[in-house]
Structure 1
Amino acid sequence: MASEDACPVDHKTRAAWLEQAAAQKAAGNPAPPPHPAKPAPPPLPAGQTCDSSAMDQTPAPSHTASSLLASLRLGTQREVSTIPRAAGEGASAAPANAEAESGKDKSGMWIYPSEQMFFEAMRRKSYDPKAEDMRAIVPIHNAVNERAWREILGWEKGRGGEGCGGPKLASFSGNSQALTPKARINTLLGYQAPFDRHDWVVDRCGTRVEYVIDFYAGRDEGKPGKSLNFYLDVRPKLNTWEGWKMRVGRFVGA
């Protein structure tokens, strides 16, 4: 199970996403509402996820009356991602998200939290979420994670994962306060620091490959139709020979 620290976002990440949502709205391109959860979508060739069985859709008892009314207006539908979730131990084990946290969905994909889940989880972590922000944060969160998965698929292409149905996401964790070595060096050189960091573990036919993702907020280019303006630095970790081989191969064009 992924670390709950990765979901929901912290204050720094939430502020970055809200800034992007405000830029979209100012440009006449508001963030779309979350899509309803699909009962069993076919596997797609692309597709982060932030699914958590610890999240529930019940308003916390500590809500004030006004906060409770606001939270009750939040959506409870969940979007099924295009990111395959690695099964549990054993060849016949069902996908980990085919149980209670994903209802009756048997797709084997990770499933994003609803607006209500996102809001309640942030309150449990002692943040100060605003119900009206969830409509902007949740779809941006989903879209950014989908982009991260597409970047990982680019790294994984041609490395043997196709032989077992493609690579699958086994787990993830997030810590916006822990700079990667690359991000720390770039920050010392005067470049912008990432607003978030995730560590993902990918299952490639039984081989675990670890990735690190630095999330950067891009500049508002003011271009029509520019729905998201984020830069994701996705790369294998250099903690294994496989990670070094992949990074060097990309560098030399192999």
Structure 2
Amino acid sequence: AMNPANSMPLQPNQRRAPGQKEELPTFRQVSSIPKAGTDETWVYPSQQMFYNSLVRKNKADDVTEKDMAAVVTTHNAVNEGTWARLLQWEQAYGRLFPESSKDEPRLLHFRGRPHDLSPKARLKKLLGYGQPFDRHDWTVDRGGREMRYVIDFYYDDAASESNRWPFSIDVRPALDSPT
């Protein structure tokens, strides 16, 4: 069974995947992202859980166990950067609607949508720009009011070649999300 809040198994799978050659760490890093409905923060998947997820989704063909430390570190950093950008929107929202922004924003749930282009990504693609390698929708609980954000993740080859952060994160409120 899957957890609807994060599309991961309800019981985290920390066992070795079929055909896995090397043991992977099962330690899970705690994020800074507040979890809605609790006083806790979200917890990132372990290297083993991440590898198992790639295997489950048939995306493990071009990765090895040795790649997992870098992959998970990058995944976690990208999510922290995404949350920081999302909070910038939340601060702007708080200035516009102070009566409904008294509570700290907390991440209620998120959903990966790698095969669904957002309207903005579709427009950029039509204009000749590259398309994102992933998309997420994150829903934030703002004191009982939900706000959905669309996140497009782009890979920047030029930045990577010059040893800069190779990812671009485009975070914005969903057009159909209530304020």
Give the whole-Å Cα distance in 2 for the aligned partners of 1:178 and 1:184: 9
Q: Which runs of 5+ in 1 are unaligned?
A: 8-51, 88-94, 96-106, 243-254
How far has the Cα of 1:229 moved from its partner?
2.1
State whether residues 155 and 166 of structure 2, in contact with CA within 8 Å, keep that contact through their aligned partners in structure 1.
yes
Runs of 4+ in 1 over 6 A off after TM superposition: none
Q: Which has the higher strand share?
A: 2
Q: What is the SS of the residue equivalent to 2:16?
A: coil
Separation in 2 of the partners of 1:181 and 1:3?
23
1:175 is aligned to: 113
Q: Which structure 2 residues correspond to residues 1-254 of structure 1 after superposition, within 5 A?
A: 1-4=4-7, 53-60=10-17, 63-64=18-19, 67=20, 69-70=21-22, 72=23, 74-87=24-37, 95=38, 108-128=40-60, 129-157=63-91, 159=94, 160=98, 163-164=102-103, 166-218=104-156, 219-220=158-159, 223=162, 226=164, 228-242=165-179
Structure 2 unpaired stretches of 5+: none
Number of aligned residue pairs: give it.
Answer: 168
Structure scoring higher RCO (CA < 8 A, sep ≥ 6) equals: 1
| Cα distance in 2 for residues equivalent to 1:144 and 1:211 | 15
Provide the TM-score with structure 2 as the length reference.
0.85
Contact 1:55/1:120 (<8 A) preserved: no
Contact 1:197 1:213 in 2 (8 A): yes
Aligned AA for 1:202? V
In structure 2, what residue type is equivalent to 1:190? G
Q: Any conservation in 1 of the 2:146–2:178 contact (CA below 8 Å)?
A: no
- Superposed CA RMSD in Å reads 2.0
